[in-house]
Structure 1
Amino acid sequence: MHIGIDVRLPFYQMGGISQYILHLLPALAALDSENQYSLFHLGRDGRSYTPHAAPNFQRKNVHTPSHHKLERWALGLELLPHRLDVLHSPDFIPPQWGGRRKVITVHDLNFIFYPQFLTQASMAYYANQIERAVQVADHISADSHATRHDLIEQLHVPPEKITTVHLAANPLYEREYEETAVSATLQKHNLPRDFILFVGTLEPRKNLPFLIRAYDELLQQGEIDVPLVLVGGKGWLFEEVFTTIDELGLHDKVRHLTGIFDEELAHFYHAAGVLVTPSHYEGFGLPALEAMHCGCLVIVSNRGSLPEVVGQAGMQLPLDDEVVWTDALRRVLTDSALRQKMITRGHDQAKTFTWQKAAQMTLEIYKDVV
């Protein structure tokens, strides 16, 4: 079987979808030495995402940029000569041609539920093409049961056409880290331990003004005085985050840091008192999973896939009352017995998500559609 996988997106951005691509490939290579894989890179991308010591995985160059307005047709024409049995499009939208069978991964339906939270470019790319994509796909891989349910309810996709394939964390978050290394990272960024942590792009869907107001109320109570650290780049429509900080006079309490990745981010998880994800909607929620691996408590909204990811290991809260979040923050930062119970549960919950399992289920999808 000749399987093609579109791996162009990491050239442009290293967000959640790119992380999915980069971790699925080596897991597939470890599992499958029989089928032939063509990994379609952007020609000008100097990096290679082809797994090492896997002769059945080969890099192939294409020239069509991701999210180009003519992508469906241009990429399709480039793929036709490769005579693929299966083409896997990890970024929702498959080309017009290029594989006898098409598999797509749908990560979320944010653009349907919250169109006001997206840029016009993102809306034009995803929302205007998703109905055709799910129709022409022979099978759909969904990141979560929540996304699978949304596909069935919102786009009327037959349930038998969708398989939930949970993501997993980068293996580096499963490692043990020396306390001296963690302390050095804290010193570098002038941070104390037990701070409140958010990880993700600053954009409306993440609901950060809500978190900042709940944090401000926590400070007003006077029992806890730790910084709120926002780790992630500025996305779109991020201005309200900093307006809220200005209005509440929290310049010296709320820190915004960018360029924190890999081992350094793992150090942040190990040192933080709690990770908070108050998102309106998530298709999966990798930071919560990463944090649980690192022994960091998690508080998440009860929306989308987040309850599915954290299970009984994290607090799941509604988004209709900031006071509930303030009280939860106070509890997890002061109740040592609760903290230990949540840390233990978090480790156990995180171990249930593996890239080996994701690769096995993905390979079964490839086999089933041919």
Structure 2
Amino acid sequence: MNKIGIDARLLAYRDGGISTYIRSLAQAFSDDEGPLNITLFAHRKAAERITPNLAEKKLITPPHNRFEQIALSIELLPHQLDVFHSPDFIPPLRGAKRHVITVHDLTFLHYPQYLTANARRYYNDKIDWACHHADHILAVSSSARDDLMTLLNIPESKITVQPHGVDPRFRPLSKEACHPVQEALHLPDDYILHVGTYEPRKNIIGLLTAYKALLAQMPDAPPVVLVGRPGWLFEETQTQIAALDIDEHILWRMNVTDEQLPAVYNLARVLAAPSFYEGFGLPLLEAMACGTVPIASDRSAFPEVMGDVGLRFDPEDSDAIAEALRIALTDDAWYQDMCQRAIQRASSYTWANSAEIARRVYTSLL
């Protein structure tokens, strides 16, 4: 039987983002592995198995290590893999007969100023090689595919679009079901929600600048809840936010667990996603699955994820962001219609479909 390996080492180091992609894809394969023999390659630091139904091997090489490509190749060699899938961009030099990578975004090429110097060096030095070394590339959106073609001259025939799915946990919940989470996190009855790493690319400053303008028109506007964790250049972001002098209207929540997140979405009036760039935008999809209306940037992958749901704006136009917030908070008829559209739109995105796309790519390389 053909041997397929998936790199799952990142799960031992972080949650969210690419880790969510890896875990969700693994679970979908666990539910329906099909004719392929799939093995997950986790890091030895991982405390728990990723999924009970797939074979799992432990590796020593940590992700994002300067010697990773060589060390990982050596570790994989005894497994004699036919295909090795690297969901975190960078494949090993060898390790399998064929290599698949997933490209989630090309932020480091679009906005290098939003990364630390070390991050810029790591990605810029490797991404061009990785894309040309890989036998096939999975791009999480049409926007990411177009970036690969435009910025790195990758032929379209080498790329397959593989949208994210949304976990069934993200669904409309009653106020009663959400109450324990609301109490635990000290959340108000109504709020504007932002979910994402605290870093410049997410344009939290743009959101809060617009929100400050909104407060001048609507002093009773609900507060902004920022759910996430510190990322690149966090101190700079904090300094800029403090200068806005609206601290009493901002609630930072850095301790939200994955289990609490569906309730956090459900309790929000609106999800605001003003990012300058995203390869996909999973919080948009999760919020819509919960019936929470998104307002988001009109850039990169957001329009294709949202479809006709919510409102879009220029992320560099604070007046446009403020107006989108005002509509979402005050137009109840529009809002109720959007809630239903959001749920319907999100239902078309499943991890089973995402896994099937990956499975077809693996099979095509055998």
TM-score (norm 1): 0.95
| Alpha-carbon spacing, 1:240–1:121, altered in 2? closer, same or farther (3 Å) | closer
Quick check: 1:41–1:62 contact (8 Å CA) kept in 2? yes
Quick check: 1:284–1:306 contact (8 Å CA) kept in 2? yes
> Which residue number corresponds to residue 278 of structure 1?
274
| Further displaced range: 28-37 or 344-353 | 28-37
> Which residue number corresponds to residue 125 of structure 2?
128
Instruction: Name the CA distance, whole Å, in 2 between partners of 1:188 and 1:25.
Output: 30
Alignment length (residue pairs): 365
Are 1:160 and 2:149 an aligned pair? no
Pick aligned residue for 1:357 from 353, 357, 366: 353
Q: Any gaps of 5 or more consecutive residues in structure 2?
A: none
Instruction: Name the CA distance, whole Å, in 1 between partners of 2:251 and 2:80.
Output: 51
> Which residue number corresponds to residue 251 of structure 2?
255
> Which residue number corresponds to residue 327 of structure 2?
331
Identity percentage over the alignment?
A: 42
Q: CA deviation at 1:245?
A: 3.2
Q: What amino acid sits opposite 1:291 in the alignment?
A: A
| Further displaced range: 159-168 or 32-41 | 32-41
> Which residue number corresponds to residue 244 of structure 1?
240
CA RMSD of aligned residues (A): 1.3
> Which residue number corresponds to residue 141 of structure 2?
144
Instruction: Name the CA distance, whole Å, in 2 between partners of 1:9 and 1:188.
Output: 29
SS of 1:160's equivalent in the other structure is helix
| Further displaced range: 267-276 or 221-230 | 221-230
SS of 2:173's equivalent in the other structure is coil
Are 1:170 and 2:171 an aligned pair? no
Q: CA deviation at 1:223?
A: 5.3
Instruction: Name the CA distance, whole Å, in 2 between partners of 1:178 and 1:163.
Output: 38
> Which residue number corresponds to residue 180 of structure 1?
176
> Which residue number corresponds to residue 38 of structure 1?
39
> Which residue number corresponds to residue 110 of structure 1?
107
Are 1:296 and 2:297 an aligned pair? no
SS of 2:212's equivalent in the other structure is helix
Q: CA deviation at 1:263?
A: 3.4
Quick check: 1:224–1:330 contact (8 Å CA) kept in 2? no
4+ residue runs of structure 1 moved beyond 6 angstroms? none
Q: Any gaps of 5 or more consecutive residues in structure 1?
A: none
Residues 208-253 of structure 1, C-alpha deviations (whole Å, 9 max, x = no match): 1111110001111135421111011111212243323322221211
Q: What amino acid sits opposite 2:18 in the alignment?
A: I
> Which residue number corresponds to residue 227 of structure 1?
223
Are 1:215 and 2:204 an aligned pair? no
SS of 1:262's equivalent in the other structure is coil
Residues 108-142 of structure 1, C-alpha deviations (whole Å, 9 max, x = no match): 00010111111222222211101111111110000
Are 1:59 and 2:59 an aligned pair? no
